[in-house]
Structure 1
Amino acid sequence: MASPKVLPPSTIQKLATFKDKPSGSPPPPSFAATRGSSPLDSFVADPVFSAFLSPDFDSSRFCSQALTSNSAAARAEHLQDGIRQLEQQLRSEVLSRHDDLLSQLSSLRDAESALSTVRSGVSSLQSSLRRVRLEISDPRRQLQSHTLQLSNLHHTANLLQSTFKLLRQSRRLRDLMATGLEHPERLDLAKAAEMHREIELIHEECGLKGISAVDEEMKWLSEIGIKLRSEAMRAVERGMEESNPNDIWCGLQVFYNLGELRSTVDALVNKYKGLGIKSVSTALDMKAISASTAGGSGPGGVQRSGTPQIGSGKRAGEALWERMGKSMEELHKVVTAVWQLQTVLSRKRVPFTHVSFLHEVWEEGSPLLTDRVWEAVMKSFARQMESAFTASSFVKEVLTNGYPKLFSMVENLLERILRDTNVKGVLPALSPEGREQMVNAIGAFQMAFLGSCLRRLSAYVNNIFPMNSRGTIPSKDQISRIVSLIQEEIEAVRFHGPLMLLVLHEVNKVLLLLAERVEYQISAGAEARQVTGPATAAQLKNFALCHHLQEVHAGVSAATADLPAAAADVLSPSLGTIYGVAGESVAPLFQAMLDRLESSILKIHDQDFAGGTAAEDGPSSYIEELQRSAAHLRAEFLSRLRGDSLCAALVRRMAVRVLVFFVRHAALVRPLSEAGKLRLARDMAELELAVGQNLLPVEQLGAPYRALRALRRLIFLDTALLAGSPLLQELPASAVLHHLYSRGPRGLQSPAERSDLTPLQYSLWMDSHGEEQIWKGVKATVDGYLAGAGEDPVCALMLRVGAEMAAHDGARPRSNLGR
């Protein structure tokens, strides 16, 4: 138990000198406390002294507040009273504990006496420890010496044991090598390499350097190691060149047993990488090429910018192509050799662990061996190609003009590599990205070749079609020449799929340019559309342009007929534009011719088909006019356009439209007497003759011709037999319904009469509306008539026929057929 603290005598003396204040001076009322209570309790309740008990009391702030309260003197007196009360309380506490304080003071004296006794005991103990230390130092030194001797003996024993093991293993290796000298075919290089590595490990791990017997063996072992590495490398390289996996594996097994597999593979990769890079740089060395073609005389074979001497350009070009071919062969050997190495490493596994040997030399995520070699070779190839393109005008010219040959070399190289390395279960030597690298490396020459192709063809087009000239028309030979030029460009790349598509894109641009220039040359206006007189110079010019464009279209189409569908897709826009412009050159004329014929047919409504007697034997006047117009069109225009497929299609379209237009307006004829029917039938026969002689044989016109023949028979058919007649199937519904108006009562208005339209206006309306809309107009007139006049057999027939025909309208000819 700790003794109570004793106050020093000086403190007691000071406390004893304190005097109590006279009894006439009581404490301030604010600090009066009950007996047994502490002054601190009253301080807590006091508004002034409570601030002194706060942990964040600030004396400066307290003084500032006291001075500004206008009661600083009273506040100071208040504080003095508190101080006196605290001193009085402290004095009373000391006096009340006087005996305890004295007892603690005596305990301190006893402690000082005991402490002096402890000091003397500690001094005695230190003296004893010094004597003990002197007594045990000699045995300790002896023990250290004996321990060192034992360690040396143990180390010496280990060295002797390791030396014996090394010499024994070396003797076995000597015996193995001696057997190999007598019988080379029985020499096991892999086992020798394993023993060699074991001896090296013993020498390194056991620290046998400096032992004379061991050093002599290590000299011999170094020579054996050189021999093993040489034989193994020879086997690996022979296997890589001859595609013999067994030789590759035997050599790699030796290096693996020697612990040098990774470094050896890296060295082989770097070696073949260097061979590939060297082959590329050698192929494009213009100094060497020019020197080889200079005949061994003269000051030098190459001029500035890599240009050969005058007169040796052809030989230099042949030498360049020869070197490029050799380079491609070398690249094939390099890539396939490294792929053979990679394949063997991926197939062979480490005994016991069964880990692929490839993972011993390759880290996951890093490029494969073939990728490393290919990437380095392609960087060099791209760099050499770029340098040749920019620095050597001769190489640029040769490789640009002969780009199809260069592309063929590259394409054949890539195909051979992929074919020769396409083995099931093994990655090929090249990835799609790798193939793209080589194609991109010759991209500058490709762009130059395509630009040259475009310039040649565009220059010829610009030559025969000057930009700002509309007066001259190229000759047939000139058009044949441009077709020949396009065919030559296509033939040059016919067997190079990707390149052929690129060339076709350039041909597409040229054809669009040609179409643009021809479109600029086409004559428009009234002179080009007149059909009443002989063909004008503007029309003859348009005919020639149409012929030329069709010749181009036919020639290019024939040149690409046997090409893949992708080639046709490339040229489809430009060929379509060529065909469209050819049509634009004569389309206004054909429209004018059709308008002329239609205007003649419209005059059918000026004829009188209601007469009681048949007209003269000849055709009606409008048919005669149509015959004259058709003959004039054939003689002056169509005869000049025969042989053109485009014009033949336009003629056919015009002939179809004429028959359809005639059937439409012949059905609108009203009233129609028996004599009028005969006259109308005769007009139909004359129309067949006019169309067949001047436009196209009517038998080739199909449905429109059958509709004309059906109407010719229908007009003579009794009304009661119309509903079930098969002739209705050959005619448009509108033609049948319009014809029935001629059989109906006079008060039944036709849709044209009801809408107050002329035949031409009604015909134009029919061209822009289908059979359904026409039937609605007819039905409205019939319903209107029946509502006012009652039943009528013809109207009933029209409603029945119209409803039946509307139900089968999808299988009928349209009223605007051929428009």
Structure 2
Amino acid sequence: MSQIIQSDYSLFASAAFDANEYANAILSGEPYLPSSDLKSSHVGKHPHKLSAPEASAKDDISQAISKLSFGIEDVSKQIKSLVTTHHEDLLSQAANANRLSGSLTSVKSDLTDLDSSVEKLRRKISVPRQSLHFSLSRLQKFQQASDLLRRTSRFVVLARRLQSQMAEMEQSASKANASTTLKLSESVAQMTSSDPSILGDTGDGKERTIAKAALSIAELVILIDGPGASDTSGADSTGRVNINKGDFNLRSINAITSHIPFIEDARVKVTNEMVNMVITGLSTLNQSLLASSLQTAYNLGVLPYQVQALMTELAQDVEDRIKRAFDLTKISKDANKEGNASPNPGTSTGPQYKSRVRTEPTNVTAPQWTAALWVRLEKMTEEMADCCIKVYTLEKVLKLKRDTISQTLFLDEAMNILENTPSATFWTALSRALEKHGRDSARGSSFIQQTLSTGYPKLLRLFHEFFAKIAVHTDTVYSPSHQSPETVLVLRSLTYFETLYLSRSTNKLNEVVAQAFPSNGARVTPGANDGLNIARTVTNELDSARFDPLFIRAVAKVVVSTLDIMISRADHLIVKDRAAILLSGPSPTPAQIMNSYVATCLYHCHSRLVKLREEYSDAIFQIISLSIDKIHATYEQIVDPLLTAIRRELGAIIARLHRIDFGKSTDRAAGMGGPSFYMKDLVDKLSYIKLEVLNKYLVEEDNHKWIMSIVKFVLRTFVLHVSITQPLGESGKLQLTTDMTELEFALSAFMVDGSQSQKRGGNLDSLGDEYRLLRAMRPLLFLENGQLANPMYTTGVPPLIVLHHILVRSPLPLPHSLHGWQEAEYVRWVDEHSEEEAKTLIEGGLSHWEKMAETEGRNAKEAEEYVSLARTVLQNASI
């Protein structure tokens, strides 16, 4: 119901409701539309129709009035009801409104006072500020005007000064030309008598004038365009000043504008003179002239850009010359000129057919092409040296020269835009150009690749000459002990050709190794010639690179890899089983023959390579020394087991003498009257070892050392076995003497070098103590017991042998019997230990026997003499 009532009253609550229009609508029986709905209908929107309570035109006016009356009564009732319900709230709100009226009046008064205070402050601050702002603006304009006047005044003074300086410069130039003409026309005598300082003074005066004019021009440019206009940002490529810059320049003053063309022309002239002075100074390496030109560039404000332009030009010049050196077209033309200039004798001089320019030589023209290429490379290195000297001269002047006024170092000024020093920039550009054009030319031409890869040492020598030439003018050093970073950088640019050369060197070395040790599984027998060929090839490769400290290191590394391959292949050929050390005879085994060939090859290779220590520095030899040591170690892997087997075999034969009873008066089984059977076997075995085993090893000095060591071993082992032979009678002593004589003859024959016409080492006296011991052993056997303890009778015999012989004659047990050893085991023990340890062992045996004799009650009278003799010998040995 309330919604219906609100809907009925919504028309009257509208803000656009008009009572007159509503009454007219009722009277005319038409629906009533407020004016806002009428406007919306004109815009094209759907209007919200607000119809009058009169739904139809047929309703009469009375009904409309009655409805209005009813509505008015209803609204009045609702208002009365609301007032009745909320009368307390309405009263409280009215009271609050009455109270707020007083507070609002106070606030309004305070706001009025605030507005008046703000107005007073505005009159005290804002007005003076506006006046001050206006005054400051006028002052700024006065200062700008004063600055323009000051700059104008200074400009006029400098312009006049520049005019006089330019006139003086032209006058100096004319005097210099006149002096040059006069100098050319005078005779030598007149030139000698004239004052040589005139031309120099004129030149110096001209240089000082140019520097002053440059300073004047720079200041004039600053006056026109403000600070920062004197550098290259204020000048075009021709050197003309760009004066259309700045907010407060002097271009609007007519008197100054008329001077601008003159200033531009003066700057162009000074710039050209400066450039000519720089070029002349670099060409003649005249540091004084170069310093004057750089001072001019500094005064003009273009020093960093001028240095940068010079470095760019020099770097480009070097690159162009390197590119021309590798140009196959020019090489072809040079080769053709050389071929036409020196024709082969006997050829026809008639008209010849001229073919087009070739890019690769033929077999006939290859020598001419090669000669032409090397000539161009030599010329290239000379031109590179000239450019390098110019760069270092420029950098030296930049390091030493300072501005006379600001004391600014010219190098620091140039480094404001340069990324690096001139020398570093030059070396970087040089190395890049060499690497790029060299690699590209080699990849595009097999002729250049082959020529420079095979002739890389020659190319490297050209750069050594280049380093030597520039060393006088630069701080670069290239020596075996020290290499400057710049030189290393340049040589690294030739890595492409070095790699090709090292590859060829590797192939050459591998071919020599492959000839001696094939990798295809074929069983070959390398020999002395193969070892010498390998060593000779290694030596030649190192010798071709010894002039360069870096190059020889690279070659040495290649040599190491090749030697490692050789060692690996040799190790596969070495036979390491029992057949390699079998000495049963009558001929050597195939394994022994193969090992002898491999050992001979390794020996000769090692003996030549080890001499390189005397030919090269320790740093270089240290690179290949490990591989050389590996060769010797591989060689010893063959030899050492064989020598050990020989000693073991000979020791076993000598130990068989203990099977013979030397205590009997006669022993037919032992062959009394001649050498014993074991001695005959020993002689035969020595002959077999010498002829069938050792002679297979063509190792010269080592063969002689082996023979000497084997002979000494046989003598030492034989004497030790003889000294412990028990029992020993008079006939046994004679038999041992006979065996000793036979052994001397056998060893003397064993020491003879059959490959020479005369005996080498055949004299047993060269053996030293071992042979003297054998000779002294004979009388020792026949000495009386009392003489054994007398050193006068036992000269040349070690105390240990004397002690053994005393124990052999006595009832005392020998050391090996006391410990349960075999004779061969005891001899091996003595050979592996010191003589002091052996004497200690004997002394312990004596003490042990004495204790046992006391304990068991044995009759020790028979042994007292021998114990006393042994104690005496031990006492004499300790003195």
TM-score between the two structures when normalised by the length of structure 1: 0.72
* Comparing 148-157 and 281-290, the one that deviates more: 148-157
- Percentage of identical aligned residues: 23
Structure 2 residue aligned with 1:630 = 686
Q: 2:808 aligns with which of 725, 728, 742?
A: 742
Kept in 1: contact 2:274–2:293 (CA 8 A): yes
Q: CA deviation at 1:593?
A: 4.1
Separation in 2, partners of 1:760, 1:111: 136
1:226 aligns with 2:290: no
CA–CA distance in structure 2, aligned partners of residues 113 and 654 of structure 1 = 138
1:225 partner amino acid: R
Contact 1:248 1:341 in 2 (8 A): yes
Distance 1:710 1:231, change over 3 A: farther
The alpha-carbon distance between structure 1 residues 619 and 162, as it changes in their structure 2 partners (threshold 3 A), is: same
Say whether residues 1:562 and 2:562 are aligned partners: no
Deviation at residue 180 of structure 1 after TM alignment = 1.0
- In the alignment, is the contact (CA less than 8 A) between 2:707 and 2:750 conserved in 1? no
**Match of residue 188 from structure 1:** 206
Deviations 1:739-776 (CA, angstroms, capped at 9, x unpaired): 332243x1x32221122222123333444444455344
Q: Which residue of 1 aligns with 2:84?
A: none
Q: Which amino acid aligns with 2:566?
A: L
Q: Judging changes above 3 Å, is the alpha-carbon distance between structure 1 residues 437 and 772 closer, same or farther for their aligned structure 2 residues?
A: same
Query: Partner residue of 1:758?
Result: 822
Mapping of residues 175-574 of structure 1, within 5 Å: 175-184=167-176, 185=199, 186=202, 187-206=205-224, 207-209=249-251, 214-215=256-257, 217-293=259-335, 300-302=356-358, 307-308=360-361, 311-351=364-404, 353-362=406-415, 367-422=420-475, 432-469=484-521, 471-473=523-525, 481-522=533-574, 525-526=578-579, 529-535=582-588, 539-557=592-610, 561-574=614-627
Are 2:847 and 1:794 equivalent residues in the alignment?
no
**Does the 8 Å CA contact 2:467/2:476 hold for their aligned counterparts?**
no
Tell me how far 1:358 sits from its aligned partner. Answer: 1.6
Indicate conservation of the 8 Å contact 1:414/1:435, yes or no.
yes
CA shift for structure 1 position 302:
4.6
What SS is found at the alignment partner of 2:278?
Answer: helix
Aligned-pair CA distance for 1:657: 1.1
Which letter maps to 1:706? R
Could you say what the CA RMSD is over the residues aligned between the two structures, in angstroms? Answer: 4.6
User: Does the C-alpha gap of structure 1 residues 638 and 255 become closer, same or farther in structure 2, counting only changes over 3 Å?
Assistant: same
What letter matches 1:509 in structure 2? Answer: S
Cα separation, 2, equivalents of 1:256 and 1:109: 80
Q: Is the CA contact 1:203–1:209 (under 8 Å) kept in the aligned structure 2?
A: no
1:703–1:454 distance in 2 versus 1, CA, 3 Å: farther
What is the distance in 1 between the residues matched to 2:106 and 2:518?
134
Once the two structures are TM-superposed, the CA of residue 347 in structure 1 deviates from its matched residue by 1.7
Cα pair 1:598 1:658 within 8 Å, conserved: yes
Quick one: which amino acid aligns to residue 251 of structure 2?
K
Residues matched between the structures, number: 691
- Write the deviation string for residues 136-160 of structure 1: whole angstroms up to 9, x where unpaired: x9x99x9999999988985775465
Residues 443-474 of structure 1: CA deviation (Å, up to 9, x unaligned): 23222222221212222432443335454435
Change (3 A) 1:393 1:691: same
1:658 Cα offset (Å): 0.8
Structure 2 match to 1:165: 157
CA distance in 1, matches of 2:448, 2:625: 36
- The answer to whether the Cα contact below 8 Å between 1:169 and 1:199 also exists between their aligned partners in 2 is no
**Aligned in 2, Cα 1:529/1:301: closer, same or farther, shift over 3 Å?**
farther
| Matched-pair contact (CA < 8 Å) for 1:530–1:589 | no
Distance 2:813 2:144 in 1: 139
State how far apart, in whole Å, the 2-side matches of 1:579 and 1:115 are: 115
In the alignment, the residues of structure 1 paired with residue 113 and residue 516 of structure 2 have an alpha-carbon distance, to the nearest angstrom, of 134
Amino acid at match of 1:501: R
Measured after TM superposition, the shift of residue 544 of structure 1 is 4.2
Does the CA-based 8 Å contact 2:658-2:725 persist in structure 1?
A: yes
Deviation for aligned residue 1:678: 4.6
The equivalent of 1:779 in structure 2 is 843
Q: After TM superposition, list the pairs within 5 Å mapping 1:65-84 onto structure 2.
A: none
3-state secondary structure, aligned to 2:457: helix
User: What amino acid does structure 2 have at the position aligned with 1:694?
Assistant: F
Distance, in Å, in 1 between the alignment partners of 2:136 and 2:764 is 132
Cα 1:294–1:643, aligned 2, differ >3 Å: closer, same or farther?
Answer: same
Normalised TM-score (structure 2): 0.68
Deviation at 1:371, TM superposition (A): 0.8
SS of the aligned residue for 1:209 comes to coil
Counterpart Cα distance in 2 of 1:584 and 1:159? 97
Question: What per-residue deviation string (whole Å, max 9, x for no partner) do you get for residues 559-582 of structure 1?
Answer: 775333344434434434444444
> Distance in 2 between the 1:365 and 1:267 partners?
10
CA distance in 2, matches of 1:548, 1:153: 102
The 1:318–1:647 alpha-carbon spacing in structure 2 relative to 1, beyond 3 Å, is same
Q: Quick check: 1:602 aligned with 2:655?
A: yes
Residue 304 of structure 2 contacts residue 417 of structure 2 at CA under 8 Å; is this kept in 1? Answer: no
**Counterparts of 2:724 and 2:109 in 1: how far apart (Å)?**
154
Please tell me whether the aligned partners of residues 167 and 214 of structure 1 are also in contact (alpha carbons under 8 angstroms): no
Match for residue 45 of structure 1? Answer: none
Q: 1:332 to 1:151 in 2, by over 3 A?
A: closer
Deviation of 1:118 (Å): 12
Alpha carbons 2:159, 2:220 under 8 Å: kept: no
Tell me, in whole angstroms, the C-alpha distance in 1 between the residues paired with 2:279 and 2:779: 95
Q: Separation in 1 of the partners of 2:373 and 2:511? A: 30
Q: Give the Å deviation of 1:545.
A: 4.1
